[in-house]
Amino acid sequence: MEEKNTNATKRRNPVTWVPSVYFAMGLPFVVLNMVTVLMFKGLDISDAQIALWTSVIMLPWTLKPLWSPFLEMYRTKKFFVVLTQLLSGCLFGLVALALNLPSFFALSIALLGIIALSGATHDVATDGVYMKELSPENQAKYIGWQGAFYNLAKIVATGGLVYLAGYMMQYFTGIGLEKEAMIYAWMIVMLLCGTIMILLGFYHMKMLPSGGKAATGEHSLKESMAELWLVFKEFFTKKYIVWYICFIILYRFAEGFVIKIVPLFLKAPIADQGLGLTE
């Protein structure tokens, strides 16, 4: 029976899971990297604090190769995809609740940092499922779907969610809740992010292929450590590796600065040489 279920899962059309799982990959990254900048600016956090802490919480996406070999030692890739989606959804809900507390900034950053760890782990597991379940021909065939729905998450987050925040601010202001309007609006946005991630988690519980069997045993730990060491050793002994590293670091170096500072400039009052835009 288990073999039959596994075979049925492998035969599942990639259209039923590739778009949704890559949308789920993109949403937390974009919300943490871009949307939270606007959220904290609206909640009167200083530009310096916003730029610093919204950059720090993105580190897990840079460091994820360090723990990627250990993910499938005891569980399947699907397990980690579903787990991280559900975990991220619950944490977004906690962020929403934290926004109404006195120390909301510290609590929110801590929760967003955990979401970042979850999201980076989700990326590794998702790519693992994609590579394991699809043939090279199908990987090439669905690479467009992968990119399209990842970018759709960007549009939904930076366009739809930010617009919703602005709309809800106007609504709450109109009903006499001017002081609480900003907080309530962003609480709704964070709750919506959480709801989307939880729904995707339950959907992938049913639709996502397993991504292969999990490895087990002490031998697997040794193998994973050896594999990780070998990868690093081979990487740093490549010819011209210093130039490669410089290229990797500098390729989007300027964009990395702009993506944090431009939203702050757009929202800053005209008196402070900003553009004074709203959500």
List per-residue pLDDT tens for the chain, 279 residues long. Answer: 344 444 444 567 899 999 999 999 999 999 999 999 999 999 989 989 999 999 999 999 989 888 887 776 778 899 999 999 999 999 999 999 999 999 999 999 999 999 999 999 999 999 999 999 999 999 999 999 999 999 999 999 999 999 999 999 999 988 878 778 999 999 999 999 999 999 999 999 999 998 766 655 555 667 767 777 777 777 778 888 888 888 877 777 777 777 778 777 777 778 776 776 776
* C-alpha dist (Å) from residue 49 to 105, 112, 206: 10, 15, 41
Task: Name which of 260, 236, 266 is nearest 35 in CA terms.
Answer: 260
Q: What is the CATH number of the domain that holds 191?
A: 1.20.1250.20
Other CB atoms closer than 10 Å to residue 264's CB: what's the count?
A: 18
What does the pLDDT read at residue 121? 96
Q: Does residue 118 contact residue 87 with C-beta atoms inside 8 Å?
A: yes
CA-to-CA distance for 265 and 113, rounded, in angstroms? 24
pTM of the full structure: 0.86
Residue at token pair 């779907």? 145
What does the pLDDT read at residue 163? 94
DSSP assignment of 37-56: HHHHHHTT--HHHHHHHHHH
Indicate whether 253 belongs to any domain. Answer: no
Indicate whether 12 belongs to any domain. Answer: yes
Domain ranges, residue 36: 2-217
What does the pLDDT read at residue 246? 85
List the structure tokens of 67.
């723990």
CA-to-CA distance for 42 and 55, rounded, in angstroms? 18
Indicate whether 238 belongs to any domain. Answer: no
What does the pLDDT read at residue 5? 46
Q: Report the number of distinct structural domains present in the chain.
A: 1
Q: How far is CA 157 from the centre of its chain?
A: 11
Residue type for position 144: G
Indicate whether 260 belongs to any domain. Answer: no
What does the pLDDT read at residue 242? 85
What does the pLDDT read at residue 230? 78
CA-to-CA distance for 164 and 158, rounded, in angstroms? 10
CA-to-CA distance for 39 and 53, rounded, in angstroms? 13
Task: Name which of 153, 162, 223, 156 is nearest 189 in CA terms.
Answer: 162
In this structure, the dihedral spanned by the alpha carbons of residues 186, 187, 189 and 193, taken in order and rounded to 10 degrees, is 140
HSE, CB side, 13 Å, CA atoms: give it for residue 161: 29
